[in-house]
Amino acid sequence: MPASDRSSILVTGGAGFIGSHTAYLLRERGYPVLVYDRLSNGACPAALVEPLVRADLTDTQALEAAMREHKVEAVIHFAASIEVGESVRAPLAYYQNNVAGSLALLAAMHRQGLDKLVFSSTAAVYGNAAFDPIPERAPFAPSSPYGHSKAAVEQILADHCATGGLNATALRYFNAAGAAPDWGLGERHQPETHLIPLVIQAALGQREQVSIYGSDYPTPDGTCVRDYIHVKDLAEAHILALEMLLDGGHRGYRAFNLGTGQGLSVRQIIEAVREESLRRGDRDFLVEEQARRQGDPARLVADASAARSALTWHPHFSDLQTIVGDAYRFFAELTP
Ligand code: UDP
């Protein structure tokens, strides 16, 4: 069936970083999209995500009315609180938003007869994994309330799918990065805690300096290694997972890692931003080595071979230059 003949795809959290890029790409592919977001962190201007229902997930009246009125056929569920550090300080809010919010969504879907869901999960479910690279079979050992809340939702999804009441795919992202300046979209967090935006803001003179959290890790240059994946590649993976559900190519529950399998250190990221900054004639910036940030594992790299084979997903934008170049352009040219 052509995508434009379908009923709507509901994107919860569709004004957030990954949600807004996925909603945009869905529309590009001809899917009718309805964004459901409470706009609590100002990630994306509302005008970019029309049509929008501005409400909380636990507002089941609004949620079910949206599902009925827009003939929703499937849901991509991003809406969640996502800051590891904040989750340690405010765990109840994290369980409320992430677990209670997801339960409310699942109950509403059940009442409305909807049985197709793509869930935004995270590598944080693995915690300090004993695997390198990390496959999906690595046990869950989250090290923060954020990670626990996402692991809890995955468990709920698996149990619910086992009853036959739902077909769901969870996508566990490693480090989401990059931007789509050509779509007018990028990463806006308040406050910003992520490495790439922070370094770019320093290069643009919006921050005094960059901090390296820990230079004594057992890694080649002593700084933490992560698997950075471009948000456009993440958006594509959600559409592939959705299409497999819509076409009946997948029933029950399953989960995929999304990453490149390539590890990059904090210093490599800083150097790539510095190069881009010098290329653009922006300023150089100070880098200060500080103590380790609590709870940061030395190395987190995905084994994403399952997503490549089962979803036929292949990252096209996740080389370091494209990630940094796109994020830089977004901050330099599109961020007020
Ligand atoms: N990091 C850093 N300085 C910063 C912010 C982050 O050295 O100002 C490091 C952090 O310790 C981690 C990596 O950069 O090893 C990526 O951190 P980020 O918060 O972007 O993502 P996370 O890996 O925590 O999901």
| Cβ-proximal residues to 4 (8 Å cutoff; 6+ apart), any chain | 30, 31, 32
Angle at CA of residue 86, ends 83 and 90, nearest 5°: 130
| CA 224 to centroid of ligand 1, rounded, Å | 8
pLDDT for res 190: 80
Query: DSSP per residue over 239-275, as a string?
Result: HHHHHHHHTT---SEEEEEES-S--EEHHHHHHHHHH
SS3 (DSSP) at 63: helix
Ligand 1 atom closest to the Cα of residue 293 is 11
Residue 254 near residue 243 (C-beta atoms within 8 A): no
- Residues with CB under 6 Å of ligand 1 are 175, 193-195, 198, 211-213, 224, 226, 266, 293, 296
For a mutational test of ligand 1's pocket, the pick from 125, 173, 226, 234, i.e. the residue with the most ligand atoms closer than 8 A to its C-beta, is: 226
Query: How far out from the chain centre does Cα 254 lie?
Result: 17
Q: Which two tokens stand for residue 79?
A: 């809406």
For a mutational test of ligand 1's pocket, the pick from 200, 213, 294, i.e. the residue with the most ligand atoms closer than 8 A to its C-beta, is: 213
pLDDT for res 84: 87
What stretch of H or E contains 224? none
SS3 (DSSP) at 71: coil
Q: Which of 265, 255, 266, 270 is nearest to 304 (CA)?
A: 255
Instruction: Tell me how far CA of residue 326 lies from CA of 111, 219, 291, in angstroms.
Output: 41, 27, 30
Q: Which two tokens stand for residue 25?
A: 């790409």
Cα–Cα distance measured from residue 331 to residue 277, given in angstroms and rounded to the nearest whole number? 12
CATH for the stretch 181-225+262-305+316-334? 3.90.25.10
Instruction: Tell me how far CA of residue 191 lies from CA of 107, 124, 237, in angstroms.
Output: 32, 20, 27
Q: What is the pTM assigned to this prediction?
A: 0.96
Cα–Cα distance measured from residue 230 to residue 180, given in angstroms and rounded to the nearest whole number? 9
The structure tokens 């996740």 sit at 318
Nearest CA to ligand 1 atom 6: 195
Ligand 1 atom closest to the Cα of residue 177 is 20
pLDDT for res 3: 57
Active-site annotation holder among 146, 173, 217, 328: 146
Ligand 1 atom closest to the Cα of residue 266 is 14
| Superfamily per CATH, domain 3-177+230-259 | NAD(P)-binding Rossmann-like Domain (3.40.50.720)
Q: For 187, how many CA atoms within 13 A lie in the half-sphere containing its CB?
A: 25
Residue type, 317: F
pLDDT per residue, tens digit, the chain (336 aa), is 665 556 899 999 999 999 999 999 999 999 999 999 999 876 677 667 789 999 999 999 999 999 999 999 999 999 999 988 899 999 999 999 999 999 999 999 999 999 999 999 999 999 988 899 999 999 999 999 999 999 999 999 999 999 999 999 999 999 999 999 999 999 988 888 999 999 999 999 999 999 999 999 999 999 999 999 999 999 999 999 999 999 998 899 999 999 999 999 999 999 999 999 999 999 899 999 999 998 788 999 999 999 999 999 999 999 999 999 999 999 999 877
Cα–Cα distance measured from residue 202 to residue 222, given in angstroms and rounded to the nearest whole number? 22
Cα–Cα distance measured from residue 82 to residue 95, given in angstroms and rounded to the nearest whole number? 11
Show me where the domains of the chain are located: 3-177+230-259, 181-225+262-305+316-334
pLDDT for res 5: 55
| CA 58 to centroid of ligand 1, rounded, Å | 31
213 is catalytic: no
For a mutational test of ligand 1's pocket, the pick from 82, 134, 194, i.e. the residue with the most ligand atoms closer than 8 A to its C-beta, is: 194
